[in-house]
Amino acid sequence: MPGTNDPDAPVFYVYEYSAKGRIFYVGSGWTTRASDRVDHVERLMNRESKGQDVHWVNSNRVIRALKFEYGLEIEISYPVTGETQAEARRFEKEITRKRLQEGCMLANIVGNPRRLSTEQVIQYVLTGELPVAKDSS
């Protein structure tokens, strides 16, 4: 049986994060990538509290706020499982496009032409309302 580091092994999946029933991130991975994210964010917070350098990507900032500031549960769903890495990535792009067309406000950077701020994604999850662009005048 091929190992999980084999991109042709059918062990890759697409996952979605949501809170309050609102999807805010689409990703692909294998093993525990999706299920370990909240723990990873907590480790980043611990490192930051010790004064260590931390690189915060948008999705991790959203998870930090929703879980640790607002106390929301981060839910994980797996719309696609048992694929090769290439197929999982293809499905990830397809599902990302679909979620954007449905009106989801995603924290994704790659494949997301909207490029929302952390605050905009959080507002969407908390209120269900689409973020309003701030008037620069």
pLDDT in tens, 77-129: 999 999 999 999 999 999 999 999 999 999 998 889 988 999 999 999 999 98
What number of other Cβ atoms are within 10 A of residue 132's Cβ?
8
Instruction: Kindly state the tokens that stand for 70.
Output: 């607002």
Say if CB 103 and CB 130 are below 8 A apart: yes
Mean per-residue pLDDT of the chain: 92
pTM of the model: 0.90
pLDDT at residue 25 tops 70: yes
What number of other Cβ atoms are within 10 A of residue 121's Cβ?
26
Strand residues in the chain grouped as ranges (E): 12-19, 22-29, 75-83
The share of the chain scoring above pLDDT 70, in percent, equals 92
Of the candidates 104, 107, 108, 78, the residue with the CA atom closest to the CA atom of residue 91:
78
